[in-house]
């Protein structure tokens, strides 16, 4: 259990970028709920916010991967304590660990929301299925985690781009729709803070996978290109979802999973296909969250790992009953503000400690 396979010792550009994207594009991202609350609701400002978030994803993703390589990190702990020091690093470590559990619960809740909106079935079934398959995947170790994530990402991005292009062709974006979007109000005082908050809490999730992933990267420019392609993939995905929501802003604002509602406007078949793809993406992020959470408590004896994985999954299943959109609205921004300490520490390391790891 959790033993490293030789296939993970030389992870290439594609798997780094795909794993980076897949760790983040879970229920909130691919469903459109996060994008609506963090970007779309700021109108034109949201587009500038997406560009800023993309830049932050690239820079900090690269930095985390690089530190993971140089420190040979088994989890996020070494990276956090190197960049933020013992005291603040411990605080951030707690924030990351708690949020990994909370985000796992949010992914399980997101699966329930998909079942309810797409199939009109009790969300309990969706949450139960997601909890079980996530548990079984993490029991296989990091090889299973990386493979599960990297296979699904290209399909999701392709689906999102198809829906966006179709939506813009059938319903060209107007200034009126952008104005309507800006009247809903986002999760932060303005688009600038919202973009930093968005990148911050997503990096809190991603560091749990990126830090140990960096330790297994091929030498050379692999980390740079992996982070660049990962950041660009995230930016393109967010921008595409943002445009899709804007073309149907009134309908999107009233549902838990906006992208499924938009896909239904194309055809029921497209809606069904996207619901399956979305469920797969929720799964990849849930897997990353659970693995990162368990990796943090690696000091516990090997024999206790299985009970911890099972216990964490069961507890997250219980918390998921709070509902998906509620967790996105309150949990994510709160962690994002705490995660800004991580970004400050990583930035400080890049400026003042770069010689130690470059």
Rounded to 5°, angle at Cα 200 from 246 and 167: 15
Q: Would you say residue 155 has pLDDT above 70?
A: yes
More confident residue, 85 or 25: 85
Rounded to 5°, angle at Cα 28 from 22 and 31: 90
More confident residue, 328 or 61: 61
Which range of 149-163, 183-197, 203-217, 224-238 scores highest in mean pLDDT? It is 224-238
Listed residue (48, 98, 72) closest to 296, CA to CA: 98
Using an 8 Å Cβ cutoff, are 84 and 95 in contact? no
Distance (Å, whole) CA 42 – CA 59: 24
Q: Would you say residue 295 has pLDDT above 60?
A: yes
Distance (Å, whole) CA 175 – CA 54: 24
- What pTM does this model have? 0.82
Listed residue (287, 302, 293) closest to 144, CA to CA: 287
Residue 217 is given by DSSP the state B
Q: Could you give the percent of the chain with pLDDT greater than 90?
A: 22
Would you state the pLDDT for residue 242?
A: 92
Listed residue (272, 292, 304) closest to 120, CA to CA: 272
Distance (Å, whole) CA 130 – CA 347: 36
């Amino acid at each position: 259990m959790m033993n490293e396979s030789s296939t993970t010792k030389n992870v290439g550009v594609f798997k780094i970028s795909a794993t980076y994207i897949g760790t983040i594009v879970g229920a909130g991202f691919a469903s459109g709920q996060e994008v609506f609350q963090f970007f779309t609701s700021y109108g034109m400002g949201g587009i500038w916010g997406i560009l800023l978030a993309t830049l932050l994803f690239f820079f900090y993703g690269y930095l985390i991967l690089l530190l993971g390589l140089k420190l040979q990190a088994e989890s996020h702990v070494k990276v956090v304590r190197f960049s933020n020091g013992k005291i603040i690093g411990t605080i951030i470590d707690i924030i990351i660990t708690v949020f990994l559990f909370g985000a796992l619960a949010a992914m399980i809740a997101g699966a329930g929301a998909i079942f309810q909106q797409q199939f009109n079935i009790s969300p309990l079934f969706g949450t139960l299925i997601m909890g079980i398959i996530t548990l079984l995947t993490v029991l296989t170790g990091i090889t299973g985690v990386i493979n599960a994530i990297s296979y699904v990402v290209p399909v999701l991005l392709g689906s999102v781009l198809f829906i966006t292009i179709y939506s813009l062709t059938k319903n060209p974006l107007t200034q009126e729709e952008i104005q309507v979007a800006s009247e809903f109000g986002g999760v932060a005082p303005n688009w600038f803070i919202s973009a930093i908050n968005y990148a911050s809490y997503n990096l809190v999730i991603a560091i749990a996978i990126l830090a140990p992933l960096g330790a297994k990267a091929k030498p050379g420019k692999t980390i740079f290109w992996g982070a660049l392609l990962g950041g660009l993939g995230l930016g393109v995905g967010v921008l595409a979802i943002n445009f899709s929501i804007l073309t149907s802003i009134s309908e999107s604002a009233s549902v838990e999973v906006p992208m499924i509602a938009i896909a239904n406007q194309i055809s029921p078949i497209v809606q069904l296909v996207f619901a399956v793809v979305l469920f797969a993406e929720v799964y990849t992020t849930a897997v990353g969250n659970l693995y990162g959470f368990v990796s943090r408590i690696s000091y516990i004896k090997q024999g206790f790992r299985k009970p911890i994985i099972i216990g964490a999954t069961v507890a997250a299943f219980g918390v998921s009953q709070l509902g998906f959109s509620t967790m996105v609205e309150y949990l994510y921004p709160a962690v994002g503000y705490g995660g800004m300490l991580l970004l400050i520490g990583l930035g400080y390391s890049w400026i003042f400690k770069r010689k130690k790891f470059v």
